[in-house]
Amino acid sequence: MYRFSIKAGAFAIIFPVPPSPTKSLIMPDTKSYPLEKCPVSGHEYRAPQPGDSRSVCPALNAMANHGYIPRDGKNLTIPTVISGLKACYGLSTGLAAFLTIGGFLWISKLFTINLYDIGRHGRVEHNASLVHADTPEGEEYAPTKIHEDWVEEVVGDIQPCALECRQESLVDAEDVARMRVRREKTSPVMDAVHAEVARGEMALILGIWETKGVNKTGVPLPWLLDWLGKERLPEGWAPTHQQTLTDTVARSKSIRLWVEKLRSGQ
């Protein structure tokens, strides 16, 4: 089984990282594009414009759409991405550095990247995305087009049924496991590493947006749908806690156990 790990002394990379904020300390990227009401003061949503670079990752794309990293998604450095992850999602310095440095190295980049670089197939990117098609055979980069009908298919994976009450529905690890099982049925089998990456992506957002309801704890379904389909943050939301690597790994394990349970019952 693939495990996240950070071994002290393995390497040292020194760069300035601002302290973890409770509110955004990053000055938003204010290019003169049409803006909409901002979920966090100063970070208005702006859909990508022609020529902007975007990836297959909704988390990074949303950061660009809200100006936590350059809105054009280009020439991103390691410190820029780490600072953006901390300010936008409330990630701990350790988790933000782990994801960023690991991502840069995995796509063989050391200094700067464009968001599109993330989609290099077989590196960070993987098949069986919830809203993107698999990488066609022979292609080096995955398609970034969002399939809106696939976004809606997510609703059918929620229990209790969210078809009639999606505004009040919450999404938990079991629901995410249903999404993964459904999507992976139609894609080539993933190796253990990329299966862990796929679970980890959703484990992050389960921790970041966890909300306690009357009968269930999870991510508000409307938030998840906007994030996957429009790559935008919830209106009126700001980080309420620090999301750590330990918590994310634990949530990823929970998703994996639910996936195994669901598959064994099929």
pLDDT in tens, 176-201: 999 999 999 998 888 999 999 999 99
- CB-based contact 218:172 (threshold 8 Å): yes
pLDDT in tens, 96-118: 999 999 999 999 998 999 999 99
- CB-based contact 66:88 (threshold 8 Å): yes
pLDDT at 159: 86
Q: Is 96 left (phi over 0), alpha (psi -120 to 50) or beta?
A: alpha
Q: Percent of the chain scored above 90 by pLDDT?
A: 69
Most distant CA pair in the chain: distance in Å?
53
pLDDT at 163: 64
pLDDT in tens, 8-67: 343 333 334 444 443 334 555 545 444 454 444 468 899 999 999 999 999 999 999 999
Can you tell me the distance from the alpha carbon of 204 to that of 257, in angstroms, rounded to the nearest whole number?
Answer: 16
3-state secondary structure of 171: strand
Question: What mean pLDDT, rounded, does the chain reach?
Answer: 85
Angle at 150 between CA 193 and CA 219, to 5 degrees: 70
pLDDT at 188: 86
DSSP single-letter state for residue 212: E
